[in-house]
Every structure is written in structure tokens, then in C-alpha cells.
């Protein structure tokens, strides 16, 4: 059984992430979406909230598991007995960072492979940050994230502002 790990902040999940997760679910037997618990970032949603939002968003995909991790991704990949890290690429600007990460992960553990999937053109400009920024300024984000994410953001911004 081939296991792929889709790591990220998912703060919150967007339709761009979901596109990659769905496509990955056709390539491997199981996709583990791993939410990075990074104490140096200042996320809008807590780990638990991001996990719950992801669970709701992926409930129709049978071979997806939602989890979280902290520390080195390669250690987490080993712990899950996974075969491959699957990442999305939006633009040339993603490439440099992802190239560096993939090579560093290879250096840390030569058995860990990274696979890249090109974004679908309709999501190529989409990131969690641009969605949050737009929403904060009352811009319309319909169609860019699932509806329950819009509800969660509405609630969250009421709490934090
Ligand atoms: P973001 O940049 O949106 O905060 P994350 O850190 O959560 O994203 O990213 C997790 C993974 O999802 C990364 O591999 C990233 O390149 C990919 N990704 C994010 N948005 C998109 C998109 N619109 N299309 C394809 N891949 C994406």
C-alpha cells in the first residue's frame, strides 16, 4: 500500500489544496494530510480547528486521513511508514523554496521521495494568506474555499478583531 503525505499549514484549507489532495488520492492508496504545528508561525486557526475544517472538507474522499505533526517532516514520514511527500506547485516562486526543501529532505533521509503536482490553472494564484487578506477586507472568496471555511472565518474574525 502506497502512502503519500501532503504537508502544509492549511490555515485554512483552500480549493487549491483540495485539488491537490483529491488528485493525490488517485495516485496513492492513502493520502495523509499533515498539518504542520509550527510554533514560530502565528496562525489564524488552531491546529484542532484546522484539522476539523480539513476533515469536513475531505469527508467525501475515502482514502484520506487528517493528522498533524511537528518537528522534521522526514521523521514524520518514517513514523507513518509513508512512501512519498506530495506537494503542489503554483508558480516559479514556489519552485525555489520547494527545490531546497526537497533536496534537504533527501539529504536527511535518502529514502524519502518528493513528488510535485502542478496546480490547476484556476487555483494558481490561490493561497491561504490571500484568502484571509481578501476576506478581512470584505472581498468575496466564494468558490475559492469550501462554504464551511467561509463560516469558520466569519466566526474567527469576529473573535480576533
Ligand atoms: P499556503 O501557501 O496556501 O499557506 P501551505 O503551506 O498550506 O499553503 O501549503 C501546503 C501545500 O499546498 C504546498 O505544497 C503548497 O505549494 C500547496 N498549495 C497551496 N495552495 C495551492 C494551490 N492553489 N495550488 C496548488 N498547490 C497549492
With a 6 Å cutoff on the Cβ, whether 45 touches ligand 1 is no
Backbone angles phi, psi at 104, to 5 degrees: -65, -45
Mutate to test the pocket of ligand 1, among 15, 32, 88 (most ligand atoms within 8 A of CB): 88
Using the predicted structure, report yes or no on whether residue 96 has a pLDDT greater than 80.
Answer: yes
What is the per-residue pLDDT for 161?
Answer: 63
**Is there a contact between 5 and 77 (Cβ–Cβ < 8 Å)?**
yes
Relative to the CA of 87, which ligand 1 atom is closest?
14
Q: Whose CA is nearest to atom 16 of ligand 1?
A: 88
Q: Dihedral sign, CA of 38, 41, 47, 51?
A: negative
Q: pTM of the predicted model, to two decimals?
A: 0.94
> Of residues 26, 41, 107, 110, which has the active-site annotation?
41
Dump pLDDT digits (tens) for 112-149: 999 999 999 999 999 999 999 999 999 999 999 999 99
Taking the centre of ligand 1 as the mean of its atom positions, its distance from the CA of residue 1, in whole angstroms, is: 25
Spatial distance between the Cα atoms of 70 and 55, rounded to a whole number of angstroms = 19
Which residue has the CA at smallest separation from atom 5 of ligand 1? 8
Q: What is the predicted pLDDT for the residue at 41?
A: 84
Which entry of 9, 17, 87, 132 is annotated as an active-site residue? 17
All cell numbers assigned to 26: 488517485
| Active-site residue, from 22, 80, 90, 106 | 90
Amino acid at each position: 500500500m502506497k502512502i503519500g503525505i501532503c504537508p502544509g499549514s492549511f490555515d485554512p484549507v483552500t480549493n487549491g489544496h483540495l485539488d491537490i489532495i483529491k488528485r493525490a488520492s488517485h495516485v496513492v492508496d492513502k493520502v495523509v494530510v499533515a498539518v504542520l504545528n509550527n510554533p514560530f508561525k502565528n496562525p489564524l486557526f488552531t491546529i484542532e480547528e484546522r484539522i476539523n475544517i480539513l476533515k469536513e472538507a475531505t469527508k467525501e474522499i475515502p482514502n484520506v486521513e487528517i493528522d498533524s505533526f511537528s518537528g522534521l517532516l522526514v521523521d514524520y514520514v518514517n513514523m507513518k511508514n509513508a512512501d512519498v511527500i506530495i506537494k503542489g506547485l503554483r508558480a516559479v516562486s514556489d519552485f525555489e523554496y520547494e527545490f531546497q526543501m526537497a533536496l534537504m529532505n533527501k539529504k536527511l533521509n535518502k529514502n524519502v521521495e518528493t513528488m510535485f503536482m502542478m496546480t490547476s490553472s484556476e487555483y494558481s494564484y490561490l493561497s491561504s494568506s490571500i484568502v484571509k487578506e481578501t476576506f478581512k477586507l470584505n472581498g468575496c472568496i466564494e468558490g475559492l474555499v469550501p462554504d464551511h471555511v467561509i463560516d469558520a472565518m466569519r466566526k474567527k474574525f469576529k473573535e480576533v478583531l
